[in-house]
């Protein structure tokens, strides 16, 4: 429970806007830990939070390849989503559909009222009506078929982050390679917004310094790493939490403090703002926290 208390402290501050939780997290933390729950379950959500997750993501109206689960319509989960929201103040996201036809305007318009902060959806599943502010921060995912050069247009549309879901389905659950890291790095340089990496590979805690060095802003643990049971999830989240903490997160810089000051003063911060983010062209030192500069492997 100690990790959860440390994570939640950021959201207890009155200067953090409730409409910019995800952006604030990505701005203030050197590397964030998001848990994509393998099931819409309060016990799993509590376990993830107690082991140190910075943010949570859930699903509805979608078949989930990695977990093998099928998530039903929104009405099946409204009570559990409200219960999860009541457990913490950090960023809470949702995948609203697994197809463009299944992304219903009436459902999306309800998400803010259920306590969600951001949505996450593949670009080819995202209908144009969602490009008009639905009251949530916007993230989108790309797969291995996307033209990376198109990512240069991301910031123009006001997205908070890009989810790099670029591992081919037939390769799910295999180890992270340097080829993957090069592709993540390319997206960091091209996207103009923070890049999140989901655990389509069988990520291990030793991958944390390498991913951090590539410039990504969050690791999103899903079923391939967390498993489906509470015990499996606890072990995985704890391992990655400890690895991230060993990176030696620094105190907020002046630019990060200016983000908080603007939010406290009631000024809006554009979703495309890079205040508080690392310069993606200047990676941080690769270190396992021991001061040796090694990657910990």
Is it the case that residue 70 has pLDDT exceeding 50? yes
pLDDT band for 287, please (50, 70, 90 cuts).
very low
pLDDT band for 297, please (50, 70, 90 cuts).
very low
The residue with tokens 């810089």 is: 253
Give tens-digit pLDDT for 186-239.
999 999 999 999 999 999 999 999 999 999 999 999 999 999 999 999 999 999
Q: Which residues of 66-98 are buried (b: 16+ CB within 10 A; e: fewer)?
A: bbebebeebeebeeebebbbebbbbbbbbbbbb
Is it the case that residue 13 has pLDDT exceeding 60? no
For residues 22 and 65, what is the distance between their CA atoms, to the nearest angstrom? Answer: 25
Q: How far is CA 10 from CA 23, 29, 69, 95, 293, in A?
A: 13, 10, 32, 24, 29
The residue with tokens 């140190």 is: 52
74 within 8 A of 110, measured Cβ to Cβ:
yes
78 within 8 A of 124, measured Cβ to Cβ:
no
Reduced to 3 states, what is the DSSP secondary structure of residue 258?
Answer: helix
Bridge partners (DSSP) of residue 58 are 94
For residues 102 and 98, what is the distance between their CA atoms, to the nearest angstrom? Answer: 7
Average pLDDT in the 152-177 region? 93
Give tens-digit pLDDT for 30-55.
999 999 999 999 999 999 999 999 99
Q: How far is CA 229 from CA 38, 48, 175, 187, 226, in A?
A: 9, 11, 22, 33, 8
Give tens-digit pLDDT for 226-273.
999 999 999 999 999 999 999 975 444 443 443 444 444 444 444 433
pLDDT of residue 212: 97
Is it the case that residue 22 has pLDDT exceeding 60? yes
Task: State residue 59 phi and psi, 5-degree precision.
Answer: -140, 155
Q: Tell me what the pLDDT averaged over the chain comes to.
A: 82
208 within 8 A of 31, measured Cβ to Cβ:
yes
Task: Supply the pTM of this predicted model.
Answer: 0.79
pLDDT of residue 273: 34
Reduced to 3 states, what is the DSSP secondary structure of residue 218?
Answer: strand
Is it the case that residue 128 has pLDDT exceeding 50? yes
pLDDT band for 134, please (50, 70, 90 cuts).
confident
pLDDT of residue 67: 57
The DSSP line for 54-123 is SEEEEE-SEE-TTT--EE--GGGTHHHHHHHHTT--S-EEEE--SSSTT--HHHHHHHGGGT--EEEEEG
The residue with tokens 């062209």 is: 281
Segment of 15-19, 127-131, 183-187 carrying the highest mean pLDDT: 183-187
pLDDT of residue 285: 42
Which residues does 288 contact at the CB level (< 8 Å), separation at least 6? 209, 246, 294, 295, 296
């Amino acid at each position: 429970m100690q990790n959860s208390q440390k994570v939640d402290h950021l959201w207890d501050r009155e200067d953090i806007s409730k409409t910019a939780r995800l952006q604030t997290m990505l701005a203030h933390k050197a590397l964030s830990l998001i848990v994509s729950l393998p099931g819409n379950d309060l016990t799993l959500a509590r376990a993830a939070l107690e082991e140190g997750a910075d943010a949570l993501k859930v699903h509805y109206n979608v078949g989930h390849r990695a977990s093998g689960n099928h998530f039903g319509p929104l009405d099946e989960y409204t009570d559990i989503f409200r219960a999860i929201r009541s457990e913490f103040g950090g960023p809470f996201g949702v995948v609203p559909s697994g197809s463009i036809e299944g992304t219903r305007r009436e459902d999306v318009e309800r998400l803010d009222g259920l306590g969600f902060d951001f949505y996450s959806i593949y670009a080819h599943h995202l209908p144009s009506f969602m490009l008009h502010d639905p009251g949530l921060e916007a993230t989108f995912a790309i797969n291995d078929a996307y033209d990376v050069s198109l990512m240069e247009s991301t910031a123009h549309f006001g997205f908070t982050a890009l989810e790099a879901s670029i591992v081919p389905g037939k390769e799910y659950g295999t180890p992270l390679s340097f080829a993957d890291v090069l592709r993540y790095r390319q997206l960091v340089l091209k996207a103009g917004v923070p890049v999140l990496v989901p655990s389509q590979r069988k990520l291990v805690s030793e991958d944390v310094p390498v991913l951090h060095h590539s410039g990504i802003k969050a690791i999103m643990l899903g079923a391939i790493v967390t498993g489906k049971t509470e015990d499996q999830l606890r072990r995985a989240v704890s391992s990655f939490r400890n690895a991230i903490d060993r990176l030696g997160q620094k105190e907020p810089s002046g630019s990060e403090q200016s983000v908080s000051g603007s939010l406290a003063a009631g000024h809006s911060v554009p979703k495309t703002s890079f205040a508080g983010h690392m310069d993606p062209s200047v990676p941080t030192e690769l270190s396992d926290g021991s001061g040796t500069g090694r990657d910990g492997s």
